Structure 1
């Protein structure tokens, strides 16, 4: 795969983000989640989820996309902002990170995480966390390599009760900065 271009998402990216979201779910979570949960992923529903966030972005959040070369198709996206729940004591949260399988292991996930960390820092969040399926060993290894530490666990009823674990970065400067983990 050629070098990816990371940029802020625009409203016209909504359909492409939804496509990546659904495709990445199907590629990544088959065998890790109940088939009914995976089958329920729907392009129109994902567009409805992302459209308001792209058309009227919250002031303390960001959505970044990765294009396959300048102006090419989207192959990944990430979203971040304030912590959405009260289970974890970190002000920021990485809400989403999805990379199509054909674009994995090319540094795109790292670049998106660094970009989101910089966005969170720019909004005054010095620490952040995320939730990932406990059974998703590849993602867990990726977050560990980027300096994340395990800080929690839960069962997610929205995912058929699937167990998740939380990773946190207590100092986002380490992830966003030029000497950060995984460089």
Structure 2
């Protein structure tokens, strides 16, 4: 497995991975009409903007094996004064699930957070209905600390859970 920072040239790849992951994982959550089409242009615009004008407090790490993409993580360092660094996106392609790629990407995000924002935690948002992801995070020590309803990318509101690691070093074990 090989990890590297994403560049502007990777925007279409990251967007395509994001779309594929969401279509599989969120088929029972997000609006099927949105997942069927508008998601592609929306995700491409998002990742093109993020990777073309990168911020120093954001990092996107790609995972690859033999040149083939496996997944990615996007991290926003020191995003929240109380909760710490935001794991904004963590996606393993369906074919890579169960291979440890998600854990490896989460560990890289945690290490980056520890290096840049020592003493702060790591957190993410997860759809309440995404039971598989919630189980994945719980197994890695994530604690569900807050329930909110947030606007989804398809324009609907969804219940989400904030999952927190007070000590990101727990994700390195």
Q: State the TM-score, normalizing by the size of structure 1.
A: 0.84
Between Structure 1 and Structure 2, how many residues are aligned?
Answer: 170
SS class of match (2:83): coil
Contact 2:78 2:117 in 1 (8 A): no
What is the Cα-based RMSD across aligned positions, in Å?
A: 1.9
Separation (CA, whole Å) in 2 of partners of 1:14 and 1:138: 27
Contact 1:149 1:167 in 2 (8 A): yes
What is the deviation of 1:40? 4.9
Contact 2:57 2:78 in 1 (8 A): no
Structure 1 segments of 4 or more deviating over 4 A?
A: none
Which structure carries more strand by proportion?
A: 2
Residue of structure 1 in register with 2:22 after alignment? 25
Unaligned stretches of 5+ residues in structure 2: none
Q: 1:76 aligns with which of 55, 71, 76?
A: 71
What is the deviation of 1:102? 0.8
Measured at CA, do residues 83 and 122 of structure 1 come closer, stay the same or move farther in structure 2, by a change above 3 Å? closer
Q: Does 1:142 align with 2:107?
A: no
For residues 8-87 of structure 1, what are the structure 2 equivalents within 5 Å? 8-67=5-64, 69-70=65-66, 72-82=67-77
SS class of match (1:122): helix
Measured at CA, do residues 157 and 42 of structure 1 come closer, stay the same or move farther in structure 2, by a change above 3 Å? closer
Measured at CA, do residues 37 and 151 of structure 1 come closer, stay the same or move farther in structure 2, by a change above 3 Å? farther
Q: State the TM-score, normalizing by the size of structure 2.
A: 0.89
Q: 1:104 aligns with which of 97, 102, 117?
A: 97
Contact 1:90 1:129 in 2 (8 A): yes
What is the deviation of 1:81? 1.0
